[in-house]
Structure formats: structure tokens, C-alpha cells
Chains A and B, each alone.
Chain A
């Protein structure tokens, strides 16, 4: 499993707009379903007969007109049967009907190469009461002639205008509600809102598709003063899976692993790929001296990765760890020293030539691509005789002195 993550900033922008927000309207979904099932334009008789229990056809037409107004159905001309629109099709897919609402909205934006839809959430702001409005006007800054200065205005950020022009139907990462920006005022801007930082996590399991998750919390819009006395939540918890861009999701796991392992292990990427081709295993060539005792013993390590940039499609990631990286000696000399080290390491109990031979076989099996040579039992015993007080020496000397070697 590859786990990558970074911190992302979610910005917000407050602006008056008309936004269609997904609402649960089963009666209208039934009309959309009827149009989908009949797969043709439907009229008032269809609705009356199929959905309204044979009420007068006029009633059916009224329903059709309402659905056309909401964009669920569409027709080319004026009047007559209407067919299922893209919005209607979307409504059927998500089970909600987009209902236009006018007001001041706060749009949340996340610009990141891994996030397809930059408009990630919208939330309608409570309108102030008339007296609050009046007080605000009175306290507004004025020019030298005493005229009220126009309020400072920011340009609408491009992701918002793009969403309008593309008629994008987005889904909120905060509550999964569908929404569509329908209109923005032509000449007025808006105001930048608060920002929040979230954690974007890209998890790449070895045998399944990668997943992208956004976690953290952002502050809720500040309520108008008349509503401030009520105790309210101050933030929204975010823990949402996001779709990955296709160009990212299609990159093989191994390729990402090679890049990360070579980067973290300061190894040659081509050699790392070569080991995979030769053995069918993902192995990181490692120098003996660079490894700690645990890695030398298990031939595996958790590889720390400092912050790194995986290119424009992936972006930059913060420092992390590539867990369970299998290791292989970088050179023949590394393999020889590693095998000898293991022999000494594994000599942690009394041994005979037979048990030493078995141990040597097990050690050599860990280095199939090199042919390290291990000291024989007698050579080990001779060395132990030279250092009888070495803590390991007794494991050889005692069995040899006390009748287990002959």
C-alpha cells in the first residue's frame, strides 16, 4: 500500500447567485422516471394516466410545465410534450431534484491537480434583517462629501464563472448534495471568504484501484447577528472520497512504487525496474552500510520519503513512508558482508556443524542472485577460540568442548 498525502487549501467566495440545489422531491422524480421509461416526450395525458390516477389531463399538463420550468424535462418550441433533459437524467442518477434558489452564496473552491471539480461546495448565507442592513449602511465608510462609498468588491474567481459557463452539476464534498450554478449578477463582484486547510490522501493498494480522500474541517459561515445567540456548530467535518482523474488512476501501482522506492532509497530507477523484470518482485537495491539491524535481518524496511514532487499530474506530496519495502543487496560485496552479518546475527543459541549448515543454507537462500561464501563451522569455531569471551563464542565453544561436535 502506497500512502501519499498533502495539505490543500480550500478558499471560499461570497456572491449573490442563483443556484439549483438538489432536494428530495419524489413526485418530480416520478415524472422524470416516467420520461426515462417511456423514452419519448411525454404529455399531460401520460402524467395523468400513469402518475395521477386519471385526474383530468390538464392537471397532467400543469405537472409537465413545472418540470420544464425546473429543467427536468425539455422541449424544442413552446408547448407540447417534453422529453427528459440532462438535468432530469442527473436527478434520476442522484435521486434529487435541482431546485433553483436565489440568494447570497458562499462557494468553496479547491484547486488541485488530483481534484476534478474545483467547485467543491456551496452554502447559502442567511440574509441579514432590514435593521442590520440599515445599520451596516450607516456605518459604511463615506467620501469627503459624505457620500457613501461603494462596498469593496472582488472579482468572481474563474472556477465559479467556469462552472456557470459549463453548466456544471457539482456535488458537495461536505454533504454530498448536488448543486448547479445557474446565474451570477453581471456587473457586481463578491467578497472572498475564509480559507481552510484540509488533508488530501492518495492511497494506492497493491491489488486494487487507488482512492482519493479529503479530510479535515472548515469553518461554517458566520451567522447574521440576530442568529448569533443560538449556539451553533462552528465547523463542518470533511471526510469524503473523491474521484481520481483517469490519467492518474490508470498509472500502474508498480510504476509509482519504483519511482518512490528509487527516490527514497537513492537508487537508480532503471535498476529498480530491472530487478522487477528479472525476479518479478519489487526490490530496492540497498547498500549494506545504509541499513539498520532490523532491515538487514528481515530484508525489508519502511522507507522514509521526504517531501517530493511527482509532476504536474500528481502534484507535490509531503514526507511519508513507503512501508514494507523488500530489499536486495546493491552489489556482490554488499551481499557478502550482509550474509556474514546475518550468520553472526542468527548465531544466538548453541550450535553444531549440522545446525550451522542448516542456518547457512537459509541465509544463502536470501541471496539467490549473488553467491556469497559463508565461513564453515570449523572456521567459526577457530574464530571463537580466538575470542572466547565474546558473547557469541560460547554458542560454538560450549557444544564443541562439551561433546556435541564429535
Chain B
């Protein structure tokens, strides 16, 4: 008879999001279908991994392998095959104590990886001469440096990262391989702390019988050791030398590190600076600073590569842009040749890879984006990979409780809700919130009692005379009351007008049953 009406109210959400990574593309594994100028990527073809295994399999005398973590099954099998051929295998890895301190915020260093690393060391014990130190972080491979030198520097640890991480590997020329072997020797003799002497037993390293010679060729391999900061110097030189364009990839970023300061300075000087990293809470402070300075910060869930490309040159390295890497630890970097060949330069090959990453990386950092500027998935920058993601959506519909109008014949006069609260769904951030509610007619209270009107009539008395008599007659439409409040009950559509008039007359409220 009197149907409820629906009313709505819309609110635009212009509250900026907290610092966040905005989804700009799907997360895809990297593409390693081709290798340019000896620069490798990691992907389903496993070209880089196969190149490493092949190098070990072709070694005749010596293999030197360095990796923060060492747990790749194919590589391990190749090393043991080399040992069986009479090849001497030397290895440098991090210490168990250092591994125990690693952050667990992402899959890079999960417990299973560390367990695989330890299991592999047990297999190598007694066959491979392995030394470790807490500051060893470099990843590289050198074979036969004296006779048939061949080498690779890898940003990937020699473990599952060779299968599914976003990394870079660079094949070295003869001189660079020999220089890298010399750095391996230097660190092996002067900086290693423990030596694997048997399964499960690492003994303290004693003084070497002589001091190894430092490499004289510093043109290509630039390391960080306890007494050398060539890598940090080279990285800063490339950043500070950028005039037009600068691209940096780094898994980790030290917010207060001079290299980050230099990136900011170049961005403020008008250089187009792009930083590629991995979305982790640990990089938040640094990327906030970078973004504020106008740096474009992009990220990939699996990025672990470390590289710099600028107008001043190009570098692939094992160090992140932070103190432990550029100022301390054992790290290596390869300054890429800018010498042009028919097929371009190594530097240009790196640039091509970085450009491809810039085009496809799935996340863009935004320090305070408003919902109207982004629609879709958001990774709050203080959350880890295992935390729930957030999505910016166009509209969220919020249904509010119904409102009872004061009069059944005047639903439009019902007031709107006083407070429109934001919905509690933390997984979705709306651009607009649409609130809706029903306005319903009031109902006759259950306690209401009927009320009748009094009418005076003339009746013939016993004596035949006419007399005045008061009689009770029901209202039509019926009237009820609760205390002093009167209600006119609307029973049929045709009663609308009589009810309106009667209510006006009696100062009553029109209600329905």
C-alpha cells in the first residue's frame, strides 16, 4: 500500500594512500631467451646456469667458486664431477652464523635455502677446499685461470636463484677472469675465517705461509674487500657521472648511503633517474627519499640483480647500494666494456636489459597516491611479500540501516543518516563509496488502543419528547492512541486523502498496520 523508498548518498575518497607499490603489470619471470654480449638473464631456458655448469665441466685444473649461498644441485654435481677428474675446486661462502642472521621477510633467504646450503657443504667436505667468512657475499666462478681462463660474475647466488630470480650474469674475458682469480686468492688467504676440514666441522683459518699478490689489472674487476673499496668508488663514479639518464638495479638500498645520496643529487640536477628494486619494507626509507627527489622507482617481486648504467659507464656487481656491499664485505663488480663492436657494447646490452625491465616491471612506487590516480592492486610498502595485498576499486557499496519516516504519507521528509563511515574492508580501497538506505512508513504501535469520536443526536424519549443523546462513533479511517499520541491507520489506498485530512485535523500521524 505505502511502499518503502530507497535513498542513496555518494562520497569520493580522496584520502592519499600510504607509501605503496602500485601494480602496473603482471609479475612474470624474466626472459632469458637470448644473451647479449655475454650478459645473461635468468629464466626458463636456464642459459646462464648451463653456461656455469659447462664451464665447470670443461675445467682441466682449477675451479674457483664464490657464492654467499651455495645450493644449486646441477652446479654441485658439476663440481663433484670436476673433483673426480682431478680438478682442484676451491670455494668461498658465507658463514652459518651470518646466514642465521638473515631477514626472513622474503623468500630470498628462507630456512629451506639455508638448509640446502648446509647439506651441500657436507657433500663437498673433503673434496672441495672451502673457506667461509661472515662478510663473503660475492658470487662468481673462475676456471683454469693460469691456462684457459674463463669466468663469470653473477648477481644470483648459486642456488634456486639461478632458476627463478631476476638476476644478471656476465661472462668475463681472459684478463678479467685472471684478475678475478687473483682477488679470489687474496680473499681466500687474507680474509677467510673458517675452513671446512671435514663434514660438519669448520676450523679457524691460520695465517697464510706468504702474502698473495694483488692483481695489477684493475680495469674490469672492481671488488670490495676489507682493505679495498674499488667497487664503491666505481659505483659512485658512474652515478655521479650521469648527465642525462641513469638506471640502477639493487635488491637492497641503504637510505643514508652515499650512493643513494648521489642518486638523489643527480635526480635533482635533472637527470632522468630510474631505480629498480624489490618491494620490501627494508627499502621503504630509501625509496621514499628517492621518490621525493623525482626518481622513478620500479620493482619486481623477484629482483635480485645489481647493476648501474649511466652516461659514464656500466657496472654489474654483487653488491647492493648499501654499506655492506659497497663499503664492507667481499663483493665484486664488473665494469662493462663501452667499446663498440659490430654487435654493440656490453654496456648497451645491459641498457637494453634494463630498459626491458623498466617496461615490464610490475610495480611502481608511489609515496602518496590518491585513489583516483590508480585502479587495481597495491602493495603497501611497509608490508612484506607474505602480507595481504590491497586493491583500489572504483566503488564500494555500503548498505545502511533503514530509516522509519515520521509519517506514512510523507516518506520524503525522512532525514538522512548523520554519519557516513568508511567501510572496514582493509583489502579494498574505494575511489568512491556509495551508501544506500530504505525509508519505511511508520507502523501502528502494538499497544495502541482505538479512539472514537462523540456525537450528539436527538432521540424520541419515553414521554414522546425529543431529547439530546451523546453517542460514540469510530473514526473512518480508524484512529488509535497511545497516551496522548494519536495515529490514523491507513488501511486502503482510497483512504489516503481522508486519512491525511483526519490526521491534520486531529494532529495525528498516519501509520500503516
Contacts and interface: CB of A to CB of B under 8 A. Distances in A.
Interface of A: prevailing SS: loop
Interface residues of B, number: 23
Interface stretch (B113-121, B202-210, B313-321, B483-491): B202-210
B86 interface: yes
A399 B129 contact: no
B189 A404 contact: yes
Contacts of B127: 389
A353 to B, nearest CB: 9
A171 to B, nearest CB: 63
A403 B209 contact: no
B338 interface: no
Interface in A372-400: 385, 388-389, 394, 397-399
A398 B88 CA distance: 8
A389 B188 CA distance: 19
A131 to B, nearest CB: 83
Contacts of B184: 402
B483 to A, nearest CB: 103
Nearest to B84: A389
Given A402-B185, A402-B188, A352 B90 contact: no
Interface string A326-361: 000000000000000000000001111011000000
Nearest to A394: B129
B426 to A, nearest CB: 56
B90 A402 contact: yes
B209 A402 contact: no
Contacts of A394: 129
Given A402-B185, A403-B185, A404-B208, A388 B213 contact: no
B474 interface: no
Contacts of A389: 83, 126-127
B439 interface: no
Nearest to A399: B209
A403 B129 contact: no
Most central of A349, A354, A355, A398 by chain B CB within 10 Å: A398
B87 to A, nearest CB: 8
B271 interface: no
A402 B189 contact: yes
Interface string B175-210: 000000110111011000000000000000010111
A354 B210 CA distance: 9
Contact of B90 (A349, A354, A398): A398
Nearest to A351: B209
Contacts of A350: 208-209
Most central of A349, A351, A404, A406 by chain B CB within 10 Å: A404
A289 interface: no
A114 B255 CA distance: 92
Contacts of B62: 401
B417 interface: no
Contacts of B212: 402-404
B210 A352 contact: yes
B185 A388 contact: no
A355 B126 CA distance: 24
B376 to A, nearest CB: 54
A404 B209 contact: yes
A349 B188 CA distance: 15
B213 A403 contact: yes
A357 to B, nearest CB: 12
Interface string A188-213: 00000000000000000000000000
Contact of B210 (A349, A388, A397, A399): A399
B209 A355 contact: yes
Contacts of B185: 402-404
Interface residues of A, number: 18
Contacts of A404: 185, 189, 208-210, 212
A349 B127 CA distance: 17
Interface in A169-228: none
Contacts of B61: 401
A349 B189 contact: no
B88 A401 contact: yes
B90 A401 contact: yes
Interface in B68-111: 83, 86-88, 90
A349 B88 contact: no
Contacts of A399: 208-210
A389 B213 CA distance: 26
A28 B127 CA distance: 91
B85 to A, nearest CB: 10
B21 to A, nearest CB: 44
A14 to B, nearest CB: 72
A349 B206 contact: yes
A398 B208 CA distance: 11
A394 B269 CA distance: 55
Contacts of A349: 206, 209
Interface in B313-363: none
A403 B182 CA distance: 7
Contacts of B186: 403
Contacts of B210: 352, 354-355, 399, 404
A350 B188 CA distance: 12
Contacts of A388: 83, 86-88
Nearest to A384: B88
A350 to B, nearest CB: 5
Contacts of A403: 181-182, 185-186, 189, 212-213
A268 to B, nearest CB: 43
Contacts of B206: 349
A401 to B, nearest CB: 5
Nearest to A386: B86
A194 B129 CA distance: 73
A30 B58 CA distance: 106
Nearest to B83: A389
A220 B23 CA distance: 106
A398 B189 CA distance: 10
A385 B88 CA distance: 9
Nearest to A401: B62
A397 B83 CA distance: 13
Contact of A398 (B129, B182, B213): B129
Contacts of A401: 61-62, 88, 90
Question: Can you list the 3 inter-chain pairs with the closest CB atoms, starting with the nearest?
Answer: A403-B185, A402-B185, A403-B212
Interface of A: 349-352, 354-355, 385, 388-389, 394, 397-399, 401-404, 406
29 contacts: A349-B206, A349-B209, A350-B208, A350-B209, A351-B209, A352-B210, A354-B209, A354-B210, A355-B209, A355-B210, A385-B86, A388-B86, A388-B88, A394-B129, A397-B88, A399-B208, A399-B209, A401-B90, A402-B189, A403-B181, A403-B182, A403-B185, A403-B186, A403-B189, A403-B213, A404-B189, A404-B210, A404-B212, A406-B213
Interface of B: 61-62, 83, 86-88, 90, 126-127, 129, 181-182, 184-186, 188-189, 206, 208-210, 212-213
Given A352-B210, A399-B208, A404-B189, 17 more contacts: A349-B206, A350-B209, A351-B209, A354-B209, A354-B210, A385-B86, A388-B86, A389-B126, A389-B127, A398-B88, A398-B90, A398-B188, A399-B210, A402-B185, A404-B208, A404-B209, A404-B212
